[in-house]
Structures are given as structure tokens and as C-alpha cells.
Amino acid sequence: MQDSPASQDIRHDWTVDEIVAVHDRPLLDLIGEANRLHRLYQPPNYVQKASLLSVKTGGCPEDCAYCPQSAHYEVNLERSPLMPTAEVLALAARAKAAGADRFCMGAAWRQVRDGAEFDALLDMVRGVRALGMEACVTLGMLTQSQAQRLKEAGLTAYNHNLDTGPEFYAKIISTRTYEDRLDTLKAVRAAGLEMCCGGIIGMGESARDRAAMLAVLAAFDPHPESVPINALVAVPGTPLGGREKIDPIAFVRMIAATRIVLPGAKVRLSAGRLNLSREAQILCMVAGANSIFYGETLLTTPNASMPEDDALFAALAPVAHETRAVLAISEAERLRLSDLISRETYPS
Ligand code: SAM
Ligand code: DTB
Ligand code: SF4
């Protein structure tokens, strides 16, 4: 058995048929192969805790059929404008104290617009990096120069999902094309940012649609550094609000197929963990997942609770934690940001 990385493992020419065949292998073979590659290409005992915050919630002009934040649907959700930077940084500091090493901020925008709000977001990115955390944002479509400004602010990664395969996509979103998404991802790459790009299962798509998404991801050279796999959180009021929960084994198969097709990527077990037992989550990790969203809320919907996750990590213990170099920032900037954080965390 091959026990060191080999060039044939990192491929950009996966066909959809090949990936379907991988996905549909006997389960134990599938998990075994995914685990073998996981141990070759990833630190085997490391599971990243990423924390997620919606910094601008609801009222989005896009019509993504899964999304509670779309203005097209009647959902019980309070909209809120962009949060103050100090509040965001205080929550990032709290997430770091709780053990998160990545902080992801989401805004329900169709696209980024230059101006005061984008400037505030750049400040948030600087502040998160000054805390020594990885920073990721998901803000919708963005231009090359905006991607460049995010990079200059120290952003680690930009999250922009393909969501599903190119054929099924049109059944889910009509206001933004697959090509639009690929253009944004191109801008992300050209700016030298890490790419965080994945999708959702459980929207009514077939295994072939899931494989088709993985084939598009595999064609990126280099592969995305992180790949979130979400199970649909069916929110009442959205067009997909009535959909049945997926079988946890379908989650395991998708994670394993992702690990095999993209051995070098961090595979994030994202939305939908609430419906997985501790044991099913561990099975996902055996099959290649090595990152989770940690914290009681995803963007707008509940996530696994902190005590549940503490029990999960206790079962995995001891797990190693990666530390990344803190971005070099000026002393004046560091003082300004730490003042913002402490004022919010310890108000007098
Ligand atoms: N507006 C930005 C965008 O769409 O690029 C960023 C925010 S959006 C909420 C980020 C991602 O969250 C979506 O692309 C989708 O994959 C995931 N997501 C949103 N609602 C979800 C749901 N109900 N269940 C699972 N994943 C969801
Ligand atoms: C991703 O792929 N999943 C996260 C993150 N990227 C931004 C978002 C999940 C959202 C689930 C629905 C909600 O809480 O609103
Ligand atoms: Fe808007 Fe993003 Fe939700 Fe689509 S997924 S409706 S773009 S917030």
C-alpha cells in the first residue's frame, strides 16, 4: 500500500463518472480509502475549530432557495445592518478564548460595494488577524480590486460556494449564474487569497450532481484550500423548508468522496451537524473531515451546542492545534484594535 504522498493523488482531470464510482463504492472501501489519503495529506489528529458570525443579516436580493436570508421568502428572521467593528472583534476574541483558530464573517450581500461598509469589513479582517486567528469572509460576488484589498488587509481565505453541480444549480438559484460564481472565485485566486469553496447536500440533488460539483472543484489548479460540506438546514418559509433531513451516511459518503478527490484540502463538516450524533460526526472525521464550525449559531440557525462539542472533542482527545503566525501589523494599529476589543469585552 502506498504510504507516502504521490503525484497521482492530486488530480485536476476527474470526470463526473469517476467521482460517482468513488462515491458509490462499498461504504467500508470508501471510508478506508478516504482515511488512507487523509492520513497521508493531513495532520491526522487535528480538527480545526472555526467560528462563524453573521455580521449583516437578512434582506438579501438573491433568491437562493435554501437561504433564510433571502428577501424573496417569508422567514421568521430579524434583519440587522452591519455590526459595529468593536462588537465583531469582541466576539472574535471570545471565540479565540473558547478555542477557535479561524473566524469567519458572513454578510447577506449579493456583492461587495466599495464604501464605508467595505472599509469597516477590512478593519474587521485586520482585527481578527491581530488576534492571531485565520480570517475568512463570505460577502457575495467581488471584483479583482476588492479581492486585492481584502488580501492587503490580511484576509486568509474567501468563502464562496458553488453550492451544487452545474446542472442542478438552476433549480436552486436564478439571480446569479454558475459563471458569476466562477468569476468571483477567479478574482479570489488572482489576489492570492485561499479559496474556501464547497456546497450543500440534501436539496433534492442526485449523487451525480454532488459528484459534478466535486469535479468542478477538482479542476481548480491549485485545489481550494478548504471545502465546506453543508447539509441543508431546512428553514420554514424557504422553498426548501419542507425537505427531509438527509441520512447521516449520505453525509459520510460525500465527505469521503471530497477527501479522495481533494486530498490536500481542509474538509469542513459544516451546517447540519445538529442532526448528527457524536458517533456519526466522528465517522465523518474518519472519512476525512478535519474542520467544524464551533459555536451555538451558524449564521442564522442553531449549531451544535458548546457542551456537545466539548464532549465531541473530549472523545477525540488529545487533538493537536495548529498555530499560525500572527500577521505583522504596526504597533499603533495593534493598540487601536486591542483598545476596541477590550472596551467591548470589559465595558467599564
Ligand atoms: N451572501 C454570500 C454568498 O452567498 O456568497 C454569503 C453568505 S451565504 C449564507 C454562505 C453559504 O452558506 C451559502 O453559499 C450556502 O452554501 C450556505 N448556506 C446558506 N443557507 C444554508 C442552509 N439553509 N443550509 C445549508 N447551507 C446554507
Ligand atoms: C458555509 O459553507 N457554511 C456556512 C459558511 N460557509 C458561511 C454557512 C452555513 C449557513 C447555514 C444557515 C444559516 O445559519 O443561516
Ligand atoms: Fe443571499 Fe448568500 Fe443567502 Fe444567497 S446564500 S440569499 S446570496 S445571503
Q: For residue 163, is it within any domain? A: yes
Q: For residue 71, is it within any domain? A: yes
Measuring CA to CA, how many Å separate 62 from each of 116, 131, 205, 238?
22, 33, 20, 12
CB atoms within 10 A of CB 274: 15
3-state SS, residue 144: helix
Q: For residue 346, is it within any domain? A: no
Q: For residue 78, is it within any domain? A: yes
Catalytic-residue membership of 136? yes
Q: For residue 203, is it within any domain? A: yes
Q: What's the pLDDT at 347?
A: 42
Residue 329 has pLDDT above 90, yes or no: no
**In the chain, how many domains are there?**
1
Nearest of 277, 289, 225 to residue 253 by alpha carbon? 289
d(CA 275, CA 76): 21
Atom of ligand 3 nearest to the CA of 108: 8
> Residues 111, 80: contact at Cβ < 8 Å?
no
* pLDDT band of 345, cuts 50, 70, 90: very low
Handedness of CA 298, 110, 57, 324 (dihedral sign): positive
Q: Which CATH number characterizes residue 109's domain?
A: 3.20.20.70
Catalytic-residue membership of 197? no
pTM recorded for the entire structure = 0.93
Q: For residue 285, is it within any domain? A: yes
Q: For residue 230, is it within any domain? A: yes
> Residues 344, 86: contact at Cβ < 8 Å?
yes
Q: For residue 2, is it within any domain? A: no
Q: What's the pLDDT at 10?
A: 94
| Nearest residue by C-alpha to atom 6 in ligand 3 | 70
Mean per-residue pLDDT over the chain, rounded: 92
Q: What's the pLDDT at 343?
A: 53
Catalytic residue among 102, 126, 129, 136: 136
